[in-house]
Chains A and B, each alone.
Chain A
């Protein structure tokens, strides 16, 4: 469902000449750079703290230790314990920031066209009206789907390149939920496509629920 936009409260027209359109694109890119940086930093911080917490509470031989050991295959030096957890903090921040920035960057692609439909509950407050964001499910789904697919393929390819594909029993379990997936380059592509479709559906569902609640709260106000 595409929510009814509140952009008309602010935007009177469609822009105008080519220079105006170019200025708007540049303005949008500048704001997207800032937001991509903020989103990347937040996701990086959360991922880093999560990895640190996992390493701190993880015990070798326990399920918590197994998760840390499996992540350590992709994050050099990461293992259970406080000191190794600090490396997890670093890796988590690095990877999370890259993923977050990438997701936001891909997500904005359709924004200039749809921007009228992406804000709700605009209230004039001082110099800048306060507004609430709508989420555009398909854009979010494509962004997270693409990043998730690249992530799955990259991790599978890493297992193949390092020559441990045959021994990767845990990765192979993904075939239980992603039919056709295997720890090989072809299996990685099949799994990546399926994973991106799953993520797309989840994101569209997430945006639908979010937008419905925002609309309900707006109507109530």
Chain B
């Protein structure tokens, strides 16, 4: 039978089952996504296009999903708003499911330990 865990091993177990801060993860995802799309759009705007050619036609096709978005300075900030919403929602979902998976795993381990403690062998 394994002996009791030392302090540092216990710390490793605590780390393994530590939760993500859902609000912080969602907000960090929102900020990163917003900054990413805004910076990408502004980069394409600054680089420009050859005379007579549209600026960033592929990135601009995002307007099919994000009404009001365009490859322009104002469009960069509108896109940042959308990206914050989408990124925040995905971050929220990932953090929630991560925490849920760990809660379920921990519950399973506790249940097995309880059953083992009452073993009739």
Residue of B nearest to A12 (CB): B7
Known: A7-B11, A176-B47. A35 touches B16 (CB 8 A): yes
Contact residues in A for B105 (Cβ distance below 8 Å): 34, 38
Number of A-B contacts (CB under 8 A): 128
Per-position 1/0 for A109-146, Cβ under 8 A of B:
00110011011001000011111110000000000000
Asked if B64 CB lies within 8 Å of chain A CBs, one says: yes
Contact residues in A for B12 (Cβ distance below 8 Å): 24, 27-28, 31, 112, 115
Majority DSSP secondary structure for residues of B touching A:
helix
Contact residues in B for A23 (Cβ distance below 8 Å): 9
Chain A residues within 8 Å of chain B by Cβ, number: 54
Contact residues in A for B35 (Cβ distance below 8 Å): 205
Asked if B112 CB lies within 8 Å of chain A CBs, one says: no
Contact A63 B64 (CB under 8 A): yes
Asked if A161 CB lies within 8 Å of chain B CBs, one says: no
Question: Which of B18, B23, B29, B58 has the largest number of chain A CB atoms within 10 A?
Answer: B18
Residue of B nearest to A111 (CB): B15
Contact B13 A206 (CB under 8 A): no
Asked if A197 CB lies within 8 Å of chain B CBs, one says: no
Asked if A170 CB lies within 8 Å of chain B CBs, one says: yes
Contact A210 B8 (CB under 8 A): no
Per the bound structure, the CA–CA distance linking A40 and B23 in Å amounts to 22
Per the bound structure, the CA–CA distance linking A112 and B105 in Å amounts to 22
Contact A10 B102 (CB under 8 A): no
Q: Out of A24, A42, A66, which one reaches B9, CB within 8 Å?
A: A24
Contact B64 A46 (CB under 8 A): no
Contact A128 B8 (CB under 8 A): no
Q: Out of B27, B65, B98, B110, which one reaches A39, CB within 8 Å?
A: B98
Beyond A173-B58, A206-B31, A217-B24, 6 additional contacts (C-beta under 8 Å) are A10-B10, A11-B10, A111-B15, A115-B15, A131-B17, A210-B27
Task: Name 15 interchain pairs, CB-CB below 8 A, sorted by A.
Answer: A11-B7, A14-B8, A20-B6, A28-B12, A41-B101, A63-B61, A115-B15, A118-B15, A128-B106, A131-B15, A132-B21, A206-B32, A209-B27, A213-B21, A214-B24
Q: Give residues in B with beta carbon < 8 Å to A.
A: 6-21, 23-25, 27-29, 31-32, 35-36, 40, 43-44, 47, 58, 61-62, 64-65, 90, 93-94, 97-98, 101-102, 105-106, 110
